[in-house]
Structure 1
Amino acid sequence: MAGDRSAERVRAQVPTSSDTHGRRAHRKLLTAGLVGSSIEWYDFFLYGTAAALVFPHIFFPGSSPFVATLLSFSTFWAGFVARPVGGLIAGHYGDKYGRKPAVVVSLFVMGACTFLIGCLPTAGAIGVAAPVLLVLLRFAQGLACGGQWGGIVLLLTESASPKRRGFSGTFGQMGVSFGVLLGNLIFVGTSSSVSNEAFLSWGWRIPFLLSAVLFPVVYFIQTRVEDSPEFKELERQVAAGKEVVPQAPLLEAIKGSWRTILLGCGLLAATNALFYISIAGVLSYATAALDMNRNELLTMSMLSCLISVPVVAWSGWMSDRIGRRPLIMVGAVGIVVWAFPYFWLVNTANLTAFFVAVTVGSIFQSMTYGPVAAYMGELFAPNVRYSGASLAYQLAAITISGGTPFIMTALIEETGTTTVVAVFVALMGVITFASAWRLRETNPASVRSDPQALPGLAHAV
């Protein structure tokens, strides 16, 4: 009898072909999520680098340097204005018809719009029509970006085992750092290969045209990746009459979870503000006001992003073990403390000091960003999850992300100092800490210690 039980335990520990297939399929999904989100964010952030360093010269040549920079950053902001709209549209269809279809459409639109920006005539060729077309394409980029985040992170986290959702979600979050890294690498490589005149004439187009590599990724996801098991289970529950998908998932999410949506938006305040200052606002400031070398700054930004990748992965992994809130709150406190030293170091106009400023800031903001993918989804019920999580995430985009470089430039011009910008960043850190403090833990000790328990809504606000 004892020998029979021992044999049963041994057989239970041997992976079945189904288990092996499941793990292989999940690894394939993690890879597709990382590659797809990296290229998607490459497309979106590439615009920010160009808005800081190129677009003022070729789309607003008749304006003063200050006005041209503001106008360029205002077109950058247009993408963030569109992101909530894209999130609402994708969330509606993603909750009703599946995560994968919404992701595929979003990725395709992003690749097409970025490629077309690379084909745009400049203001010197077609006048005012050039910046108008630029804004329209940037708006469409924002729609696509707003739709893809929720879909990718839900595919990743809903397909993961309950105890690995935090880590799995980081494969969508790490795409942000890889996107910036790829964008800066190609931008530096292109600008270093040709003269400044040639770069402003045609070289700047190359990074945008390279976005065509996103299309094979879209095809792979469409043909080789399945929708999440949790959404498939929801479909089965709906077919059996045990569950209902609202006709308007967004309205249902707002009606039942509007406080959670606003607090979810607040979770991203600190990381978004410091991130967009580092990849756009401070690049413009350091080149224009401090006369620092553009390519050297981009190189430092690339190295900083490279360091942030393992921090994002580690923070998601740790959130599976100690909970989502602790990582977010520690990162938020770090951003508050670092806000003033950040700008003191940048203002030295020393390249090493600049690198230290953006890298330490990147570590703190990555700690808050890593767990958000799993945390945000767990705050909402499956039938409104795409809509609720996307709305919270994209509200932060329109209220904080897109406007931060513009606000930074205007504040420095008005006050002649970066002190007010540091105060702004510290305030964002306080908002993130307060939001995490108010939200309850979705992965508490009682869930982490129970192999059968699922992190999620029962433990949220």
Structure 2
Amino acid sequence: MPELPFKTVPETVGARPGASASPVVGDGKSQAPRVAVASLVGTTIEYYDFTVYGTASALVLGPAFFPSGNATLSSLAAFLTFAAAFLSRPLGVVLFGTIGDRLGRRRALVISLLLMGVATVGVGLLPTYGTAGLLAPVLLVTLRLLQGVSMGGEWGGAVLLAAEHAPPGRRALYASIPQAGPSLGFLLSTAVILPILNTVGMDGFTDWAWRIPFLLSTVLVVVGLWVRTTVSESPVFTTAALRTAQAPRSASRFPLGTLLKLHPGRLLLGTGVAIGGSAVYYLTIVYSLSYGPQELGIPRNTMLTAASIGAAAGIAITLPVARLSDRIGRRPLMLAGAVGCVVWAVPMYASLSSRDGLVITGAYTVGLMLLALMFSPVAAFLPELFPARLRYTGASAAFILANTLGGGFAPLVATWLNSHWESPLVLGFYTGGLCLLSLLCLLALPETRDHEFAD
């Protein structure tokens, strides 16, 4: 698509006098496909980086950075660093939500991707415990916290940039395109890790080759930054900036504070809506990659293959589900997905007891397709709960809190549960309970498909 001419708009909210505003394309709708793809590329790279760490924590980071005579303790320590990034995500929400709601969606996304790239490549360059002693895990946790800050601003900005450029009646469709980024990032990380494992073996991977996926992030981040800097700012944000320029007192200097004051109920319920799906996602593509091989003797390649096929199936239905939600509404499909996840959670994780690759793959495929029913429309549903001037902060805060509570601590909680009850059934009951909570929160919220997005 040829580049459209830029036009200058008044200074964005919170910009210094005399500072240049972000260029904005005159016709946002004609830019919609390009912006959606750019959002997808950036989100995929961010989640590639994030998932590489999760996979590495399941396979190798425990012994390398937290050596112990007890494999369970090493895994707990590695998963604790995985959870640490979720603790720093709220800081990312505050930082990038403020930038995104005051200075622009695109600017926040460029900074978040750059931060993620620096942190991920840094992990690949770290010395291990055997070389640097206690300094190694300290540096690992520090870089992991920076990854979390970056992720705190990624999801909300990516879906907003796509949704706010979308043509009428296709908001969920365009917002769901970057929503496929987490699963694509996982598939990309698996496509890198599996060949390395098959080439050098587990010993070689544990010794040195685990660094390769982290270092490859350099190339991906450069591509992502180029893509993101070539797209236009959100037309909805531009309109909000014009209004704020005409009435400066209406601007919120601290969007999170305003959000908590004006919309605490929607923030709480929006968090609940996404909490069950977050648990399904992280237990399936992170925790089970460690649990299956270590506790049940399932080959690592079998677990990676099952999770990858399930993720691919979820991606395949993401856009059709989102398009359907533009026609019939968000809630019917999300309710169906939530009910399905409640019912299927126990059978899905019970399949691990079979130790059969085909059975596990089938169970994971059904589970991740049900997750897509919940999470395809949520990319439009959560932003539609909040007004334009608080939307970046509101959508990000709800999704990131859900990811932190339902996903970030899921591997840690699951490890503890399985240390007391040695059965994969406990994973199903734990996940099913969180999906039930999501169902109840969704029932308490209204349909948002016809919400005026420019407000």
Q: TM-score, normalised by structure 2?
A: 0.92
Secondary structure of 2:126's partner? coil
In structure 2, distance between residues paired with 1:423 and 1:222: 41
Aligned to 2:17: none
Shift in Å at residue 178 of structure 1?
A: 0.3
Shift in Å at residue 257 of structure 1?
A: 0.5
Work out which of the residue numbers 284, 296, 299 in structure 1 matches 2:290.
Answer: 284
Aligned to 1:7: none
Cα deviation code 1:158-183 (max 9, x no counterpart): 11123111000011100011001011
In structure 2, distance between residues paired with 1:457 and 1:159: 11
Work out which of the residue numbers 108, 116, 127 in structure 1 matches 2:114.
Answer: 108
In structure 2, distance between residues paired with 1:64 and 1:311: 41
Aligned to 1:150: 156
Aligned to 1:391: 397
In structure 2, distance between residues paired with 1:152 and 1:346: 34
Aligned to 1:213: 219
Secondary structure of 1:118's partner? helix
Aligned to 1:419: 425
In structure 2, distance between residues paired with 1:429 and 1:62: 35
Alignment of 1:90-239 (within 5 A): 90-239=96-245
Cα deviation code 1:322-353 (max 9, x no counterpart): 11111111100001110111122111111111
| Structure 1: runs of 5+ lacking an equivalent | 1-16, 448-453
Secondary structure of 2:180's partner? helix
Which structure 1 residue ranges, 4+ long, deviate > 6 Å from structure 2? 17-21
Shift in Å at residue 98 of structure 1?
A: 0.6
Cα deviation code 1:7-51 (max 9, x no counterpart): xxxxxxxxxx99997565222212111111111111011111111
Aligned to 1:272: 278
In structure 1, distance between residues paired with 2:36 and 2:406: 29
Work out which of the residue numbers 79, 82, 103 in structure 2 matches 1:73.
Answer: 79
Shift in Å at residue 240 of structure 1?
A: 2.2
Cα deviation code 1:295-341 (max 9, x no counterpart): 22212211111111022222211110111111111100001110111
Aligned to 2:373: 367
Shift in alpha-carbon separation, 1:98–1:428, aligned structure 2, 3 A = same
Alignment of 1:320-335 (within 5 A): 320-335=326-341
Larger Rg: 1
In structure 2, distance between residues paired with 1:218 and 1:348: 41
User: Could you tell me whether the CA contact under 8 Å between 1:244 and 1:383 is conserved in 2?
Assistant: no
Aligned to 1:304: 310
User: Could you tell me whether the CA contact under 8 Å between 1:39 and 1:214 is conserved in 2?
Assistant: yes
Aligned to 1:4: none
Q: What is the percentage of aligned positions where both structures have the same residue?
A: 37
Secondary structure of 1:194's partner? helix
In structure 2, distance between residues paired with 1:26 and 1:100: 14
Q: TM-score, normalised by structure 1?
A: 0.90
Shift in Å at residue 221 of structure 1?
A: 4.0
Work out which of the residue numbers 396, 406, 410 in structure 2 matches 1:400.
Answer: 406
Secondary structure of 2:75's partner? helix
Shift in alpha-carbon separation, 1:457–1:412, aligned structure 2, 3 A = farther
Cα deviation code 1:405-454 (max 9, x no counterpart): 111111011122233322111111111111111010111xxx4xxxxxx5
1:82 maps to a residue whose letter is S
Q: How many residues align?
A: 433
Aligned to 2:9: none
In structure 2, distance between residues paired with 1:219 and 1:362: 30
In structure 1, distance between residues paired with 2:57 and 2:248: 50
1:104 maps to a residue whose letter is V
User: Could you tell me whether the CA contact under 8 Å between 2:352 and 2:424 is conserved in 1?
Assistant: no
User: Could you tell me whether the CA contact under 8 Å between 2:28 and 2:165 is conserved in 1?
Assistant: no
The answer to whether structure 1 residue 42 and structure 2 residue 51 are counterparts is no
| Structure 2: runs of 5+ lacking an equivalent | 6-24
Aligned to 2:266: 260
